Structure 1
């Protein structure tokens, strides 16, 4: 039986972006395990954020693991840019235009961990064949593009399906969930089998350490049930 560690990944999309480096350092010092960096191109999702140059600059400021989530139409074309910028995990969408197998191989060629993300309307079964070749599945529990959305409860069953299939294959795959995560919903998705929790507005609204500690506590309690 694998021991699957709980990890908190604050989404900087919800922080004061005029002080991105300072905010990132604060959540790192507050106990975050990784920093979730949403890259949006205004085409795959209806929003634009930042790209590799910003991540490269931020990389110089702190040693935390960089969890880069590519919400872009053609991720394959930009893998080298984000690898060179300092990404540790590169996650791309299965619904994007790039071929999944080739994108996985390219990410691995740079020595980076690979994540595949699926939108709320994509069935869990779509990622099953890739599980032996990737490190993480990101289940979107909101429609990607903007922070502060409400949690979609249908994602719970999807997480449960993926964890069951990973266990059947003997894999300790990380299952990340992003969207509407707070001290209550973290219990639901942790019990279902998720272990990496992306939280934005819940963490950045007040006391960063208190929020992170409570997410960890509630996730651990739910997992032990």
Structure 2
């Protein structure tokens, strides 16, 4: 039987609003129109899924604890954003029990990396550019979509939380990255449309000591 399946990160709780499974706190952190900090919003949500942040939506309100540590390091970079290598350094320097693992190279290899990491429970930040000149952007991988056939599960898309899109309602994602067909580019899909993209890489955020 050919069955469509979505495998979601276990830290998610679906409902009228997307929340953290363990606390019920809101998860989606929205990027402002002027900000370039998509990687920072993605990282805050990833750390919340791993249990390192309790309030990824309003980290700036905290005067101490991991949210305050995150915001102290994040706000100087919030408007201009980060490259993926800068994001990896940022995660290391937080020193809150997590470490980044980076994947670069051919898009197919990066997407296979994302599927493996999500299967292990590690959220991934995916970076890309569209075909048109524009700043790089990032979204958080929270699930995989594919079909279960006789030979097993065959993934064909990443399910993403894009901080620049609207908050998802009654769903786990607000964007998807469809794997490339032969002779074409991967396609990024949101409620506003779809476009081919060039994947720049991905960073998995693991708890320190997590298996390689």
Q: From the two aligned structures, give the one with the greater strand fraction.
A: 2
Q: From the two aligned structures, give the one with the greater helix fraction.
A: 1
Q: TM-score, normalised by structure 2?
A: 0.29
Tell me: higher relative CO, structure 1 or 2? Use CA pairs within 8 A at least 6 residues apart.
Answer: 2
